[in-house]
Amino acid sequence: AGPVESKNEAAMSELVPESRQKPVVPMKPTGINANLLGYIGIDTIIEQMRKKTMKTGFDFNIMVVGQSGLGKSTLVNTLFKSQVSRKSSGWNREEKIPKTVEIKAIGHVIEEGGVKMKLTVIDTPGFGDQINNENCWEPIEKYINEQYEKFLKEEVNIARKKRIPDTRVHCCLYFISPTGHSLRPLDLEFMKHLSKVVNIIPVIAKADTMTLEEKTEFKQRVRKELEVNGIEFYPQKEFDEDLEDKTENDKIRQESMPFAVVGSDKEYQVNGKRVLGRKTPWGIIEVENLTHCEFALLRDFVIRTHLQDLKEVTHNIHYETYRAKRLNDNGGLPPMTVETEENHESNL
């Protein structure tokens, strides 16, 4: 019986793969504080980093969601001071409202102060415009997830591109109708579903239809409703990194948001200055005047202070959540490529 037994043992050991030998070198060193006795130049890394990022340029993808006629295109044009969206000049009555929600992404390149930005504005015509609007957020959620999917596929490649093209939605401006009462069920449903996958910034559109008191009351009510429904809009409380962030963001969350905005791409002469505004029989509404509306706050918030943070939250949190979920659903494997037309064409 001797020789037969040992042969079985050999067969068994072949099945269990030999575990990789662990390296015998230290891997995670511990930190020790060291005192510098003179200037070295470590802080020049800031300049080096700044130069590099300026050379590569930035991507920014912003989505606008809201019913037709709320001034989405105008607002985007006002934000970026250029004809980003060609619709805004005059409501073209010939254009049909689409039967379903369409997703239209248009990319532009803008440059300012040596910084090049690839701006993509994603419009969602048809949202909330049908008779039956149930599940009309689904195409939007699908689009956002598709962008995460695209990025994941690129990231998972063996031979990867130096810079993976970023088409993920960094910011979603949701336009609330200035009814003055409260949020509509559609608003709540949309924000409830989408705040889990993308940064949502709620915006009260066409705020020039409300007086100051009506505006303040409306904002308070909207904030309350969002809180009651557990909707976490950007900047989300749970992602505040430190006390400084928290105090700054708390102020924005509890006082300024949702921003009540007015958009315009026409200029008028006011007090000797040319300003963007809307001319009415009872006066000129200055878009960038903080006493008239909160457009300037929105612009500073989205572009001048939190643009990078919007991108980082999208990348480090929303994308990672999507990736973890995808990998878990597939048993730790990246998602399957469905042989679509796109793939087919690329092979020709």
Partner 1 sequence: QNDGYRTLSLSGHVGFASLPDQLVKKSIKQGFCFNILCIGETGSGKSTLINSLFNTSFDDPVSTHFLPSVRLRAQTYELQESNVLLKLTIVNTVGFGDQMNKEDNYRPIVDYIHAQFEAYLQEELKVKRSLFSYHDTRIHVCLYFISPTGHSLKSLDLLTMKRLDSKVNIIPIIGKADSISKTELQKFKNKIMNELINNDVQIYQFPTDDETVSEINTIMNGHLPFAVVGSMEEVKIGNKMVRARRYPWGIVQVENENHCDFVKLRKMLICTNMEDLREQTHIRHYELYRRCRLEEMGFRDIDPENRTVSLQEAIEAERHDFQLELQRKKEEIRQEFVQRMKEKDAILKEAKQQLQTEFEHHMLMLKEARLKLEEMEKGLEDEIAMFIHKKANAELLQSQATFSTPALSLKRDKDRK
Binders of partner 1 in range 147-166 (CB under 8 A):
153, 156-160, 162
For partner 1, the closer CB: 219 or 311? 311
Query: What are the structure tokens assigned to 28, written together?
Result: 């995670």
Q: How far is the CB of 42 from partner 1 (least distance, A)?
A: 4
Q: How far is the CB of 224 from partner 1 (least distance, A)?
A: 31
For partner 1, the closer CB: 29 or 185? 29
Cα distance between residue 316 and residue 107, in whole Å = 24
If one asks whether residue 63 binds partner 1 (CB under 8 A), the answer comes out as no
Containing 76, the helix (H) or strand (E) segment is helix 72-79
According to DSSP, the β-strands at 104-112 and 115-123 are: antiparallel
Q: Between the CA atoms of 239, 244, 250 and 252, what dihedral angle is there, to the nearest 10 degrees?
A: -100
The count of residues interacting with partner 1 (CB under 8 A) is 96
Binding-site member from 15, 131, 228, 243 for partner 1 (CB under 8 A): 15
185 in Cβ contact with 230 (< 8 Å): no
DSSP state of 21: P
For partner 1, the binding residues in 188-227 under the rule CB under 8 A are none
Binding-site member from 6, 13, 25, 291 for partner 1 (CB under 8 A): 25
For partner 1, the binding residues in 280-299 under the rule CB under 8 A are 299
Among 32-40, 96-104, 128-136, 192-200, the segment contacting partner 1 (CB under 8 A): 32-40
Place of tokens 């039956």: 132
264 in Cβ contact with 287 (< 8 Å): yes
The distance in angstroms from the start CA to the end CA of the chain is 63
For partner 1, the binding residues in 73-132 under the rule CB under 8 A are 79-84, 106-115, 117-118
If one asks whether residue 347 binds partner 1 (CB under 8 A), the answer comes out as yes
If one asks whether residue 334 binds partner 1 (CB under 8 A), the answer comes out as yes
Among 142-150, 206-214, 246-254, 303-311, the segment contacting partner 1 (CB under 8 A): 303-311
If one asks whether residue 243 binds partner 1 (CB under 8 A), the answer comes out as no
Region class of 202: left (phi > 0), else alpha (psi between -120 and 50), else beta: beta
Place of tokens 């006795």: 37
